[in-house]
Amino acid sequence: MTGWEPVVGLEIHIQLKTQTKMFCRCENVWGEGPNTRTCPVCLAHPGTLPVPNGRAIEWAVKLGLALGCEVAERSVFHRKNYFYPDLPKGYQISQYDEPLCTAGRFAVPGSGGDHEIGIVRAHLEEDAAKTVHVGGKAGRISGAAHSLVDFNRGGTPLVEIVTEPDLHSPEEARRFLQLLRQTVVELGISDAEMEKGSLRCDANVSVRREGEEGLRTKTELKNMNSFKFVGDGIAAEVARQIEVYESGGEVGQETLHFDPASGRISSLRSKEEAHDYRYFPEPDLVPVEPPAALVERMRAEIGELPAARIRRLEGELDFDLSYGLVASGRDELYERVPGERRAVANVVMNQLAATGAHPGRVNAEELGKLIEARDRIPRATFDEALTAAGEPGFTAERYLAEEAVTDASELDPVIERVLAANGSQVAAYRSGKEGLLGFFVGQVMRETQGKANPKVVNERLRERLGA
Ligand SMILES: [Zn+2]
């Protein structure tokens, strides 16, 4: 990588969780039986007409505002023409040169300050149907015996976000995407789950010599379905391009597939140009002209965004912890749990997350008690308590009962009793047999049925016997 700079822009599709589809009244749900949520509009029967979903337009405006975009006073739907079995109309209703939202800036906090990512546009469109390839490897079309089409997804609302090529490492791309996802989730407009396909990401990747002006030919990596694959895929493609240039070759413009299992990149097709799609204004729809009052209403609905919270938390935690808490949506629980901030952050971010407990269901007060006592109870008990922390009615009490006794006022009488009952050993210890300390500790532990903290017992005994 030395001497080369990766240049990455992302194209992100976000499926809006409106009740109904983008241009018809079919229910917009995931996971129902195939082809059970369709109608003449989304199946493209002749003579049917699209009617835009008002809520989808509102939410696209809201998202645009959260991305720092300008909301267009006039925006137009276009037909993007292409043939594929998942597109019964033969075109997708999308937006072209008059998108709803443009020219945004999205700040991603970094350890050395904010990194601003330019947002070229955020526009509304309808999703295609889902094709299922049967009999091939890993659901891919190559080698498949046949393909099935599920039209439930056809016509559901999508926002497509296009960034400027402002990302300069796989790590930056992954962080941007995680923060964008959390922002979308908090706006309440999408589940944005990569594994379900309600958040999809393509990356445009090129490289250039450090200090070089301008951009070289880019390739497009399609459909990476986890944050890790986005990072790994970009890293693999950057490495490939550098190798091509360094061996005297040229990078061609093409669309690529990254196979996360093998780490290999393969070519899907040579990249099509915009004119291949014969875009033209959708004659069945009037332009979208969001009234100023609607835009202001959406702006008022936006709360404190994740980027601002990361900066706020950075005052009390280091950058990685504050970023991790906010980007995973765990900072809300963190803020509610009382106790030493770093200890709470670590437990909420790492150990509690590993148990799979839903942060919204955890009793913050009880978790705080547990964290406060965590050095005094056995590790296995603490882990067991964390596993139960998300269950209804959870209290720390049962686990705290296993807390070791460290309180001198409780231990001292026991120590006195043990010393009084073992006079000859005490005399032997004082005359130099210091190895007997272990014997006294053992006696105290037995008297307290193992509940005493051995370290404290040790200290108190030394103090008492040393006199
Ligand atoms: Zn429909």
- pLDDT, tens digit only, all 467 positions of the chain: 678 999 999 999 999 999 999 999 999 988 888 999 999 999 999 999 999 999 999 999 999 999 999 999 999 999 999 998 999 999 999 999 999 999 999 998 877 778 899 999 999 999 999 988 888 776 677 778 888 999 999 999 999 999 999 999 998 999 999 999 999 999 999 999 988 889 999 999 999 999 888 899 999 998 788 888 899 999 999 999 999 999 998 988 888 888 888 888 888 766 566 668 889 999 999 999 999 999 999 999 998 899 889 888 888 888 888 888 898 888 888 988 888 888 888 888 888 888 877 888 888 888 888 888 887 777 778 888 888 888 888 888 877 776 666 677 777 888 888 988 888 888 898 888 888 888 998 888 888 777 777 777 888 888 888 75
Tell me which residue has tokens 């880019």: 218
Ligand 1 centroid, distance to 182 Cα (angstroms): 29
* Alpha carbon separation from 43 to 92, 154, 285, 405 (Å, rounded): 12, 8, 18, 71
Q: Which residues is 265 bridged to in the sheet? A: 258
Burial pattern 189-206, b for ≥16 Cβ within 10 A else e, equals: bbebebeeebbbbbbbbb
- How many angstroms separate the alpha carbon of residue 28 from the centre of ligand 1? 9
Q: What spacing in Å lies between the alpha carbon of 44 and ligand 1's midpoint? A: 9
Q: What are the residues whose beta carbons fall under 8 Å from the beta carbon of 151, sequence distance 6 or more?
A: 35, 37, 38, 42, 43, 88, 129
Q: HSE (CB half, 13 Å, CA atoms) of 302?
A: 21
Six-digit token string for 159:
């926002």
Distance (Å, rounded) from C-alpha 184 to C-alpha 90? Answer: 30
Q: Ligand 1 center to residue 152 CA distance, Å?
A: 8
Instruction: Mark the residues whose beta carbon lies below 5 A from ion ligand 1.
Output: 24, 26, 39, 41-42
Domain limits of the chain?
4-297, 330-400, 408-466
- 408-466 folds as Arc Repressor Mutant, subunit A (1.10.10)
Query: Are 231 and 219 within 8 A, CB to CB?
Result: no
Q: What does pTM read for this prediction? A: 0.80
Q: What is the pLDDT of residue 288?
A: 95
